[in-house]
């Protein structure tokens, strides 16, 4: 999750917004508002989204975001 926290501080809105959303999804799971399977589906949708895949450059930041998302997904499997 630390990679998601770093991404939220990146200054790049396209990445920071997605990372913040992922953290909110995680909080919803922790508070019982979302099931783990629902959360995993939401996060996987972010990873697979066309707009994320089409981001040019910023490969290191994109990799950090995807890494953080997949860490959360694996926690819910």
pLDDT tier at 28, thresholds 50, 70, 90: very high
Among left, alpha and beta (phi > 0; psi -120 to 50; other), residue 12 is beta
Q: How far apart are CA 18 and CA 15, in angstroms?
A: 5
Alpha carbon 7 to chain centroid distance?
Answer: 9
Question: Which pLDDT score is estimated for 47?
Answer: 93
**Quick one: pLDDT at residue 55?**
82
Kindly report, residue by residue over 43-63, the tens digit of the pLDDT.
999 999 988 878 878 889 999
Q: Calculate what percentage of the chain has a pLDDT beyond 70.
A: 100
pLDDT at residue 42 is higher than 80: yes
Exposed/middle/buried for residue 39 (C-beta within 10 Å: 0-12, 13-18, 19+): buried
Q: How far is CA 5 from the centre of its chain?
A: 10
The pLDDT value given to residue 50: 86
């Amino acid at each position: 999750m630390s990679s998601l926290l770093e991404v939220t501080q990146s200054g790049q809105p396209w990445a920071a917004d997605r990372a913040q959303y992922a953290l909110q999804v995680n909080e919803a799971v922790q508070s019982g508002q979302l099931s783990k399977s629902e959360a995993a589906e939401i996060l996987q949708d972010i990873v697979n989204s066309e707009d994320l895949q089409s981001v040019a450059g910023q490969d290191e930041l994109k990799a950090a975001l995807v890494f953080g998302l997949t860490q959360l997904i694996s926690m819910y499997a």
